[in-house]
Copies of this chain bind each other. A is one copy, B any other.
Amino acid sequence: MAIKVYGSMFSTATLRVLLCLAEKDLDFELINVDLASGENKTPHMLSRSPFGHIPAFEDGDIKLFDSRAITQYISRTYADKGTDLITKEPKKAAMESVWMEVEAHEFDPVTKKLAWELCMKRFLFGQKGDDVVVNAEKKKLECVLDVYEARLSESKYLGGDSFSLADLHHAPMIKFMMDTQMKEVFDARPCVSAWVVDILSRPACVKIFSVPAY
Protein backbone atom coordinates (compact mmCIF):
# COMPACT_ATOMS: atom_id res chain seq x y z
CA MET A 1 0.00 0.00 0.00
CA ALA A 2 1.30 3.42 -0.97
CA ILE A 3 2.09 6.06 1.61
CA LYS A 4 -0.68 8.68 1.67
CA VAL A 5 -0.26 12.31 2.68
CA TYR A 6 -3.43 14.35 3.25
CA GLY A 7 -2.29 17.95 2.85
CA SER A 8 -1.73 20.92 0.59
CA MET A 9 1.20 22.27 -1.41
CA PHE A 10 0.40 25.65 0.23
CA SER A 11 1.24 24.25 3.67
CA THR A 12 4.83 24.37 4.92
CA ALA A 13 4.00 21.49 7.28
CA THR A 14 2.87 19.35 4.34
CA LEU A 15 6.00 20.31 2.38
CA ARG A 16 8.13 19.26 5.38
CA VAL A 17 6.73 15.72 5.08
CA LEU A 18 7.02 15.61 1.28
CA LEU A 19 10.68 16.72 1.48
CA CYS A 20 11.37 13.93 3.95
CA LEU A 21 9.73 11.37 1.64
CA ALA A 22 11.77 12.72 -1.29
CA GLU A 23 15.04 12.48 0.71
CA LYS A 24 14.09 8.85 1.42
CA ASP A 25 13.21 8.10 -2.23
CA LEU A 26 9.76 6.91 -1.17
CA ASP A 27 6.72 7.00 -3.41
CA PHE A 28 3.61 8.64 -2.03
CA GLU A 29 0.16 9.80 -2.96
CA LEU A 30 -0.75 13.40 -2.05
CA ILE A 31 -4.45 13.77 -1.34
CA ASN A 32 -5.27 17.46 -1.52
CA VAL A 33 -7.11 18.95 1.44
CA ASP A 34 -8.93 22.15 0.48
CA LEU A 35 -8.13 24.57 3.29
CA ALA A 36 -10.20 27.37 1.69
CA SER A 37 -13.42 25.35 2.11
CA GLY A 38 -12.41 24.16 5.60
CA GLU A 39 -12.00 20.54 4.54
CA ASN A 40 -9.40 20.13 7.30
CA LYS A 41 -12.21 20.55 9.86
CA THR A 42 -14.58 17.94 8.37
CA PRO A 43 -15.27 14.75 10.42
CA HIS A 44 -13.31 12.72 7.84
CA MET A 45 -10.18 14.83 8.33
CA LEU A 46 -10.66 15.33 12.09
CA SER A 47 -10.65 11.53 12.45
CA ARG A 48 -7.17 11.62 10.93
CA SER A 49 -5.89 14.83 12.54
CA PRO A 50 -8.01 15.71 15.58
CA PHE A 51 -6.77 19.30 15.98
CA GLY A 52 -7.70 20.08 12.37
CA HIS A 53 -4.19 20.68 11.10
CA ILE A 54 -2.59 19.25 7.99
CA PRO A 55 -0.89 17.05 7.02
CA ALA A 56 -2.28 13.70 8.09
CA PHE A 57 -0.36 10.59 7.08
CA GLU A 58 -1.02 6.93 6.38
CA ASP A 59 1.46 4.11 5.86
CA GLY A 60 -0.29 0.74 5.79
CA ASP A 61 -2.03 0.33 9.13
CA ILE A 62 -0.35 3.33 10.78
CA LYS A 63 -2.08 6.71 10.80
CA LEU A 64 -0.29 9.77 12.14
CA PHE A 65 -0.64 13.52 12.34
CA ASP A 66 1.80 16.38 13.06
CA SER A 67 4.47 16.98 10.44
CA ARG A 68 7.47 16.71 12.78
CA ALA A 69 6.27 13.43 14.29
CA ILE A 70 5.63 12.11 10.78
CA THR A 71 9.15 12.98 9.55
CA GLN A 72 10.64 11.23 12.59
CA TYR A 73 8.54 8.12 11.88
CA ILE A 74 9.64 8.09 8.22
CA SER A 75 13.30 8.61 9.15
CA ARG A 76 13.30 5.77 11.70
CA THR A 77 11.10 3.30 9.79
CA TYR A 78 12.98 3.76 6.51
CA ALA A 79 16.40 4.27 8.12
CA ASP A 80 18.15 2.25 5.40
CA LYS A 81 16.61 4.10 2.45
CA GLY A 82 17.87 7.34 0.90
CA THR A 83 19.46 10.02 3.09
CA ASP A 84 20.15 9.15 6.74
CA LEU A 85 18.14 11.86 8.54
CA ILE A 86 18.43 10.83 12.21
CA THR A 87 21.63 9.42 13.61
CA LYS A 88 21.47 6.48 16.01
CA GLU A 89 24.41 7.69 18.12
CA PRO A 90 22.80 9.30 21.24
CA LYS A 91 25.16 12.30 21.57
CA LYS A 92 24.82 13.28 17.92
CA ALA A 93 21.09 12.56 17.99
CA ALA A 94 20.82 14.89 20.99
CA MET A 95 22.20 17.84 19.02
CA GLU A 96 19.81 17.06 16.16
CA SER A 97 16.95 17.02 18.71
CA VAL A 98 18.04 20.37 20.16
CA TRP A 99 17.94 22.05 16.76
CA MET A 100 14.66 20.38 15.81
CA GLU A 101 13.20 21.96 18.94
CA VAL A 102 14.81 25.30 18.06
CA GLU A 103 13.14 25.21 14.64
CA ALA A 104 9.76 24.50 16.23
CA HIS A 105 9.97 27.02 19.07
CA GLU A 106 12.23 29.84 17.87
CA PHE A 107 12.36 29.86 14.06
CA ASP A 108 8.88 28.74 13.02
CA PRO A 109 6.77 31.07 15.22
CA VAL A 110 8.60 34.18 13.97
CA THR A 111 8.70 33.23 10.29
CA LYS A 112 5.06 32.08 10.43
CA LYS A 113 3.99 35.55 11.61
CA LEU A 114 6.12 37.15 8.89
CA ALA A 115 4.65 34.86 6.22
CA TRP A 116 1.18 35.87 7.42
CA GLU A 117 1.89 39.60 7.33
CA LEU A 118 3.96 39.63 4.14
CA CYS A 119 2.00 37.20 1.96
CA MET A 120 -1.01 35.37 3.34
CA LYS A 121 -3.01 38.45 4.40
CA ARG A 122 -2.80 39.80 0.85
CA PHE A 123 -3.36 36.39 -0.76
CA LEU A 124 -6.41 35.47 1.35
CA PHE A 125 -8.00 38.84 2.18
CA GLY A 126 -6.40 41.35 -0.19
CA GLN A 127 -5.01 43.22 2.83
CA LYS A 128 -1.58 44.81 3.21
CA GLY A 129 0.61 43.47 6.03
CA ASP A 130 1.03 45.53 9.20
CA ASP A 131 4.44 47.29 9.01
CA VAL A 132 4.71 47.57 12.79
CA VAL A 133 4.28 43.83 13.22
CA VAL A 134 6.65 43.10 10.32
CA ASN A 135 9.39 45.31 11.81
CA ALA A 136 9.00 43.76 15.28
CA GLU A 137 9.12 40.22 13.90
CA LYS A 138 12.05 41.10 11.63
CA LYS A 139 14.04 42.16 14.73
CA LYS A 140 13.19 38.83 16.37
CA LEU A 141 14.26 36.97 13.23
CA GLU A 142 17.59 38.84 13.26
CA CYS A 143 18.20 37.72 16.85
CA VAL A 144 17.28 34.13 16.04
CA LEU A 145 19.54 34.07 12.96
CA ASP A 146 22.43 35.55 14.96
CA VAL A 147 22.34 32.38 17.05
CA TYR A 148 22.14 30.28 13.86
CA GLU A 149 25.14 32.16 12.42
CA ALA A 150 27.21 31.31 15.51
CA ARG A 151 26.16 27.67 15.34
CA LEU A 152 26.77 27.35 11.60
CA SER A 153 30.21 28.98 11.92
CA GLU A 154 31.31 25.93 13.93
CA SER A 155 29.40 23.12 12.20
CA LYS A 156 28.25 22.75 8.60
CA TYR A 157 24.72 21.74 9.54
CA LEU A 158 22.62 22.49 12.62
CA GLY A 159 22.84 19.01 14.11
CA GLY A 160 26.52 18.48 13.22
CA ASP A 161 28.55 17.55 10.13
CA SER A 162 25.68 15.90 8.28
CA PHE A 163 22.37 17.12 6.90
CA SER A 164 19.58 15.90 9.19
CA LEU A 165 15.92 16.43 10.02
CA ALA A 166 17.00 19.49 12.01
CA ASP A 167 17.92 21.20 8.72
CA LEU A 168 15.14 19.66 6.64
CA HIS A 169 12.41 20.96 8.97
CA HIS A 170 13.46 24.54 8.13
CA ALA A 171 13.46 24.18 4.35
CA PRO A 172 9.82 24.96 3.44
CA MET A 173 9.69 28.18 5.47
CA ILE A 174 13.16 29.24 4.27
CA LYS A 175 12.00 28.74 0.67
CA PHE A 176 8.98 30.92 1.48
CA MET A 177 11.10 33.65 3.13
CA MET A 178 13.49 33.76 0.15
CA ASP A 179 10.65 35.22 -1.93
CA THR A 180 10.07 38.04 0.56
CA GLN A 181 11.99 41.07 1.81
CA MET A 182 13.25 38.84 4.66
CA LYS A 183 15.77 37.33 2.23
CA GLU A 184 18.15 40.15 3.21
CA VAL A 185 18.15 38.98 6.86
CA PHE A 186 19.41 35.56 5.78
CA ASP A 187 21.80 36.97 3.14
CA ALA A 188 23.45 39.30 5.69
CA ARG A 189 24.80 36.32 7.62
CA PRO A 190 27.46 34.42 5.60
CA CYS A 191 27.19 31.02 7.30
CA VAL A 192 23.39 31.14 7.34
CA SER A 193 23.40 32.19 3.69
CA ALA A 194 25.70 29.31 2.65
CA TRP A 195 23.50 26.88 4.62
CA VAL A 196 20.37 28.18 2.87
CA VAL A 197 21.95 27.73 -0.57
CA ASP A 198 23.13 24.24 0.37
CA ILE A 199 19.73 23.11 1.64
CA LEU A 200 17.64 24.59 -1.15
CA SER A 201 19.87 23.07 -3.85
CA ARG A 202 19.40 19.52 -2.56
CA PRO A 203 17.69 17.33 -5.20
CA ALA A 204 14.76 16.64 -2.83
CA CYS A 205 14.14 20.37 -2.39
CA VAL A 206 14.45 21.09 -6.12
CA LYS A 207 12.01 18.24 -6.85
CA ILE A 208 9.35 19.13 -4.26
CA PHE A 209 9.51 22.92 -4.71
CA SER A 210 9.07 22.54 -8.46
CA VAL A 211 5.66 20.85 -8.03
CA PRO A 212 3.00 23.46 -8.85
CA ALA A 213 0.68 24.32 -5.95
CA TYR A 214 -2.31 24.68 -8.27
Contacts and interface: CB of A to CB of B under 8 A. Distances in A.
Interface of A: 50-51, 62, 64-66, 68-70, 72-73, 76-77, 90-91, 93-95, 97-98, 100-102, 104-106, 144, 147, 150-151
Contact of A94 (B73, B90, B101, B147): B73
Nearest to A108: B105
A148 to B, nearest CB: 9
B64 A147 contact: no
Given A66-B101, A66-B105, A147 B51 contact: yes
A62 B95 CA distance: 9
B51 A102 contact: yes
Chain A contact surface mostly? helix
B90 A77 contact: yes
Nearest to A77: B90
B94 A69 contact: yes
Given A90-B77, A104-B105, A105-B104, A98 B50 contact: no
Contact of A50 (B93, B100, B150): B150
Nearest to A68: B101
14 contacts: A50-B147, A50-B150, A51-B102, A51-B147, A62-B94, A66-B97, A66-B101, A66-B102, A69-B94, A69-B97, A69-B100, A76-B90, A104-B104, A104-B105
A197 to B, nearest CB: 23
Contacts of A98: 64-66, 69
Contacts of A106: 51
Given A64-B94, A69-B97, A72-B97, 14 more contacts: A65-B98, A66-B98, A66-B105, A68-B97, A68-B101, A69-B94, A70-B94, A72-B93, A72-B94, A73-B90, A73-B91, A73-B94, A77-B94, A104-B105
